[in-house]
Amino acid sequence: MTQCHIAAMTANPTGFEPVFCTIVPPIVLDKLAQSSDPALAKAARRTLQRDAYERTQRRLTTVIGAPSVAAPRGAVEGKPYRTIHDAKNKTELPGRKVRGESDKPGKDATVNRAHSGLGATFELFLKQYERDSIDGHGLPLNATVHYGEEYGNAFWNGEQMVFGDGDGEIFLDFTIPVDVIGHELTHGVVQYTANLTYFGQPGALNESMADVFGSLIKQYTLGQTAAEADWLIGAGLLAPRVTGKALRSMKDPGSAYDDDVLGKDPQPKDMEHYVRTGRDNGGVHINSGIPNHAFYLLAESLGGHAWERAGKIWYDVLTGGQLAQDASFADFAKLTVAAAPEGEQREAVQKAWSQTGVPTT
């Protein structure tokens, strides 16, 4: 459920679409802002206001041009270089530095989780796909925690990660689920590779890529096989009062939550239930359930560790240079079939897409 706000490519000299990505999309916060509970509504409105401000700042950075990132002193090729800052519930970025790459864990669990989550993401991409950080060239990984007052979101602004503490009523600390951290950082990987347009089916693919690798980072960290994984995105983020288990389910899209305040998870799992809408950038957070489910079906069919075979196919297509910015589900599906080794894996890829109603020929 990330919302990525896209500025015009023509304003960006790097050729990448600059993004401001939040894990909780405006459509959810809009609903919370209309809650009859004044405290919930106030927290949601405050979060929406901060998101709007950060989105504007991101667009200004795009027009001016972001400075190039030089390798900092002490950085080592093939090793993460993480810096965690504390905003102390204010909104100035990056805040006060509280932990560097070589520093030992401190007393603040949020700082420690952010540091570990950045490292887990770096490790999966490096060890499994030989990618050195988000950009493939050792980009330093920076994060700010304790951002804002009851800020109910986390975001990647194209340069760093930012985590709110949540309001404690609907959302808990946004550093709790490692797949949320991985999801957001994967949007950076997409930005530096296929750069999928954030609207309609390519936008839903963008969201799905972030979910897929966010889930794989969680599974890799826990040492889980496809059969052992829960395939939930954001498990542990929802507060006890919420009737739900996560933000999304890749195994069973549409079942993650059904709550009086949040509403019901709107994701479909196949093209028969594809949602055509002008909201949410053409339903990017809704229809991402379809490619999400295809990946789950493939991983389940192949068995073992999902990052080894299913993940490798998805990564190869994402970074292979043939995936167009405006790719449809069918375009992506065809490329995954071509990328899969002939035999069992290729047949499994075709079957997974077939079960979701996405053509591969």
Q: Could you tell me the residue range of the domain that residue 307 belongs to?
A: 228-233+241-356
- Helix ranges (DSSP H) in 231-288: 280-287
- From 6, 2, 7, 8, select the one nearest 26 (Cα to Cα): 2
Q: Provide the annotated active-site residues.
A: 184, 285
Q: Are 352 and 360 in contact (CB under 8 A)?
A: no
What is residue 70's predicted lDDT score, i.e. its pLDDT?
62
What is residue 281's predicted lDDT score, i.e. its pLDDT?
83
Task: Give a yes or no: residue 307 inside a domain.
Answer: yes
Classified as helix, coil or strand, 255 is: coil
Task: Give a yes or no: residue 269 inside a domain.
Answer: yes
Task: Give a yes or no: residue 206 inside a domain.
Answer: no
Q: Are 64 and 12 in contact (CB under 8 A)?
A: no
Classified as helix, coil or strand, 108 is: coil
What is residue 69's predicted lDDT score, i.e. its pLDDT?
58
Task: Give a yes or no: residue 245 inside a domain.
Answer: yes
What is residue 4's predicted lDDT score, i.e. its pLDDT?
59
**330: CATH:** 1.10.390.10
> Total structural domains in the chain?
1
Task: Give a yes or no: residue 303 inside a domain.
Answer: yes
Vertex 69 angle, CA 67 and 71, to 5°: 155
Task: Give a yes or no: residue 273 inside a domain.
Answer: yes
Task: Give a yes or no: residue 159 inside a domain.
Answer: no
Task: Give a yes or no: residue 272 inside a domain.
Answer: yes
Query: How buried is residue 133: exposed, middle or buried, by Cβ count under 10 Å (0-12/13-18/19+)?
Result: buried
What is residue 30's predicted lDDT score, i.e. its pLDDT?
82
What is residue 156's predicted lDDT score, i.e. its pLDDT?
84
pLDDT < 50 positions in the chain: 1-2, 5-17, 59-68
Classified as helix, coil or strand, 134 is: coil
Instruction: Compute the radius of gyration of the chain from its Cα atoms.
Output: 19
